Structure 1
Amino acid sequence: MDTDVLIIGGSFAGLSAAMQLVRGRRKVVVLDANKPRNRFAKASHGVFCLDGKTPGEIRATALTQLKAYSSFQLVEGAADSVEIQEEGFAVTGQGDSTFKAKRLILATGISDQLPDIPGVKKRWGRSVIHCPYCHGYELSDRPLGVLATSELSFHQAAMIPDWGATTLFTQGQFNPEGEVLDHLLARGVMLEKAPITQLEGEGDSLSEVVLADGRRVPLEGLYVSPKAEMSSPFISQLGLELEESFTGWIVKVDPFKETSERGVFAAGDLSNPMQSGTFAIASGTMAGVGAHRSLIFNQ
């Protein structure tokens, strides 16, 4: 199947890119396994005009609107490999299906590697969260905690008191000092050095955490910054350059989201140092515009 632009990944970033391209009257194929990073969240908050909608509802609405354009096609399934060819790219999907495209947009997202603490995984995206703008309002005025996973957690802990009384759990590994400590104390953040060993609560709710010394601390929301992993094999297959951001490694892109490989664009969490649904939409919009401009000016 030949197309102008093939987009791998059909969540917020990929579908936003597709919208710009079909409105530019370009043929677009979105290849999507429908396993987005945000699938664990009950709702997407802070998204303009869509506050409180589930990620699934937003995706369904976007697809309904995209399917009104005759040049759009959704193919459900995972991509297996990408090959650079003389006139573009060849992507092999499930069942040995092959797609050829002049331009390629990677919107595959990233994977979250959560701390190996009993009770964290089952509450991820519900009462264990990473972004106060995305989910913090719903946990307002409750006892809140920040689980330190790096020194970046100090910055996060300084923010959370705007939503509720906050305890920074250093896990006995990440201990703030000097001006950082002074700022946390001035913000009213309490420090707890004993490691959290377990989360407890009914269902996906959180009511308390158990510490290594046996104490139980009432808690109804726990912020965690997981280690992000770029699990897409296409980064290495295409030899894309990476760069280190304050949140970890991301794909290096120019202002129009083009990567180090000409004709390949990266959108969403794959290339964003700050990550949320809103940022993914904006990133996808720019990637779509960038790919369209590339088809016009860089033939």
Structure 2
Amino acid sequence: MRTVPEQKDVVIIGGGPAGLSAALMLGRARKQVLLCDGGSPRNSAAEGIHGFVTRDGTPPQEFRRIAREQLAPYGVDILLDTRVTAVERLGAGFRVVLAGGRSVECRRVLLATGMIDELPDLPGYRELWGRSIFQCPYCHGWEVKDRPWGLLATAAPALDFALFLTGWSRDLVVFTQGLLDVPAEQRQRLERAGVRLETRKILRLAAGHGAHGAHLEALELEDGTRVAREVLFAHPPQRQTEVVQRLGVALDEQGFVRINEHLETSLPGVHAAGDLTTRIQGASMAAGAGAMAGAMMNHALNMENAAAGLWPES
């Protein structure tokens, strides 16, 4: 890769669909861009990206490889396995500090860091995450349709989510871990939809092992009962990455980064796109948000350049 200059128009933090899509928009708009990929994608355990037109079923690493290859003609600089440790205000722009102490100055910053999933301390959960335990039925529901499903429901909104999941499988058990007081009306709605309710606590997830790795076989309850399930949907708590937390951008009541119609955060010049801004998470949605963020940043930069009589480099 080319040596990275110390001055950029935009530094993108995050090399997933949102960051890559923004880099493509900005690169094609003749902007000087640095993309920093920390090297630990959230979807690394997934076998493929789904619901992304022309890329349905593409393995995540292959998706990233293709995207980085397509950025090459536009002069986008990419740093792989490079963590950003801080973003500091520097006059009208920013200084982005990389692990190891190197820093790059820029006019705009895009946060495309995604979120960190805080997996529960439940035996078998981490091993099965991304293989038999999923968050999004749009991403993985087709591949496991009509199989015995479970839903880990530890908050009231998950009960309505259970009804929604019946579009993919009618064999569904909701596990509340004894944490929810389910109203009679809600119980009736679940019963009418053929959804079973299990209030006993889960002791562990029992996994089998085959040619494609670990897979869920059953949920073992605290009294020793085993409930056979092949798939479990769950929404573990999420938190922002350290660099986003240290930057101090405003968050909403659910902990996601607040953005305006220009996908700009509470800090002028710092934009955000992808999973860190919304609970509606998926590769295609993140890529769309990244493209919009890239276009918005480019518009602002072009207007600033025009006002100052500046022209893009050839």
Q: Which runs of 5+ in 2 are unaligned?
A: 1-5, 306-314
Q: Which runs of 5+ in 1 are unaligned?
A: none
Residue in 1 aligned with 2:234?
Answer: 224
Residue in 2 aligned with 1:10?
Answer: 15
State the 1:298 CA deviation.
Answer: 5.0
| 2:188 is aligned with 1:182 | yes
SS of 1:100's equivalent in the other structure is: strand
Decide which structure has the larger Cα Rg and report it.
2
Identity %, equivalent residues: 38
Residue in 2 aligned with 1:240?
Answer: 249
State the 1:32 CA deviation.
Answer: 1.3
Please tell me the residue identity of whatever aligns with 2:150.
G
State the 1:11 CA deviation.
Answer: 0.7
Q: Distance in 1 between matches of 2:7 and 2:149?
A: 51
Residue in 2 aligned with 1:199?
Answer: 205
Query: What does 1:1-299 correspond to in 2, within 5 Å?
Result: 1-70=6-75, 72-76=76-80, 77-164=82-169, 165-203=171-209, 204-237=214-247, 239-244=248-253, 248-298=254-304
Q: What whole-Å deviation, never above 9, does each CA across 1:16-39 have from its counterpart, x for those lacking one? A: 110110111111100111111111
Moved more, 86-95 or 170-179: 170-179
1:13 and 1:284 in contact (8 A); partners too: yes
Please tell me the residue identity of whatever aligns with 1:202.
G
- Residues 234/50 of structure 1: CA separation in 2 closer, same or farther (3 Å cut): same
Q: What whole-Å deviation, never above 9, does each CA across 1:47-104 have from its counterpart, x for those lacking one? A: 111111111111111000001212x100121111111011300011122111110000
1:11 and 1:34 in contact (8 A); partners too: no
Please tell me the residue identity of whatever aligns with 1:196.
I
1:149 and 1:225 in contact (8 A); partners too: no
1:114 and 1:226 in contact (8 A); partners too: yes
Q: Distance in 2 between matches of 1:149 and 1:20?
A: 40
Q: Distance in 2 between matches of 1:154 and 1:231?
A: 29
State the 1:181 CA deviation.
Answer: 2.6
Q: Distance in 2 between matches of 1:296 and 1:254?
A: 19
Q: Distance in 2 between matches of 1:182 and 1:127?
A: 28
Q: What whole-Å deviation, never above 9, does each CA across 1:222-246 have from its counterpart, x for those lacking one? A: 0111101112333433x311112xx
State the 1:158 CA deviation.
Answer: 1.1
SS of 1:44's equivalent in the other structure is: coil
Q: Distance in 2 between matches of 1:11 and 1:266?
A: 13
Q: Distance in 2 between matches of 1:256 and 1:178?
A: 44
Aligned residues: 294
Q: What whole-Å deviation, never above 9, does each CA across 1:269-290 have from its counterpart, x for those lacking one? A: 1112311111111111111111
Runs of 4+, deviation exceeding 6 Å: none
Q: What whole-Å deviation, never above 9, does each CA across 1:179-209 have from its counterpart, x for those lacking one? A: 4333222211100111111111213211111
Please tell me the residue identity of whatever aligns with 1:2.
Q
Q: Distance in 1 between matches of 2:183 and 2:13?
A: 44
Superposition RMSD in Å: 1.3
- Give the alignment's TM-score, normalised by structure 1: 0.95
